């Protein structure tokens, strides 16, 4: 039996921007070995960046962290980062795809692109998380997750390094959970194992 079929959820998607590296270190670094879901991440970083963020997070984490590859199947217990300057999407069969389509809300990769495609692929079996960042990327996509019956989580804007992205998500979506950064990983573990 597929390990994911034992749980309500099939994946977690995360979006961050300004202040996102430290937020990801906190959250990804706190997920335990054996975390039962794939975690797909869009972080707004320089288009010229290399895979240094994936390497850093992998060293700090009990679960595997890597940049997503085209046509890779999302596997439990692995964090997939959108490569710089590529949108990350999820196909219906949970295969990952990369796109160089134009930026969305001035961003490529775009949180909204990932969240929207993941909502289509996973429906109510998806957890969406918006954390620290500037702008409003992620609000529309988090709304898609909520409309599909998934669970929505937003970092408390008062706790964020840059509060406009989480504040926009709170105002647009009315998320299921608004929590400080240090409570996001424990919440994800609780949801993933429920």
Number of domains in the chain: 1
- The mean pLDDT of 56-84, rounded to a whole number, is 96
Tokens of 164: 């406009």
pLDDT at 106: 85
Q: What is the pLDDT of residue 4?
A: 42
Query: What DSSP string describes 124-162?
Result: GGEEEEE-S-SSSTTHHHHHHHHHTT-EEEEE-GGG-SS
Per-residue pLDDT band for 47 (boundaries 50, 70, 90) equals low
Residue 109 lies in a domain: yes
Residues identified as active-site: 17, 44, 137
Cβ neighbour number for residue 123 with a 10 Å cutoff: 14
As a whole number, mean pLDDT of residues 38-64 equals 87
Query: Residue 21 is part of a domain; what is its CATH number?
Result: 3.40.50.180
Counting residues of the chain whose pLDDT is more than 70, the rounded percentage is: 93
pTM over 0.85? The answer is: yes
- Domain assignment present for residue 110? The answer is yes
d(CA 110, CA 121): 17
Q: Which domain holds residue 95?
A: 11-193
Q: Is residue 4 included in any domain, yes or no?
A: no
């Amino acid at each position: 039996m597929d390990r994911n079929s034992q749980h309500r959820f099939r994946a977690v998607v995360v979006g961050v921007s300004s202040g996102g590296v430290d937020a990801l270190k906190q959250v990804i670094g706190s997920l335990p070995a054996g975390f039962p879901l794939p975690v797909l991440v869009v972080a707004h970083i320089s288009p010229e960046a290399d895979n240094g963020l994936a390497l850093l997070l992998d060293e700090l984490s009990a679960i595997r962290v890597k940049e997503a590859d085209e046509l890779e199947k999302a596997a439990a217990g692995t964090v997939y980062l959108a490569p710089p300057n590529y949108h990350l999407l999820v196909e219906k069969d949970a295969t990952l795809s990369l796109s160089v389509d134009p930026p969305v809300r001035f961003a490529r990769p775009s949180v909204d692109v990932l969240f929207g495609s993941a909502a289509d692929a996973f429906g109510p079996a998806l957890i969406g998380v918006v954390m620290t960042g500037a702008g409003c990327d992620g609000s529309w996509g988090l709304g898609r997750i909520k409309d599909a019956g998934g669970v929505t989580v937003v970092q408390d804007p008062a706790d964020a390094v840059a509060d406009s992205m989480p504040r926009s998500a709170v105002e647009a979506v009315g998320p299921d959970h608004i929590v400080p950064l240090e409570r996001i990983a424990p919440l994800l573990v609780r949801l993933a194992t429920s």
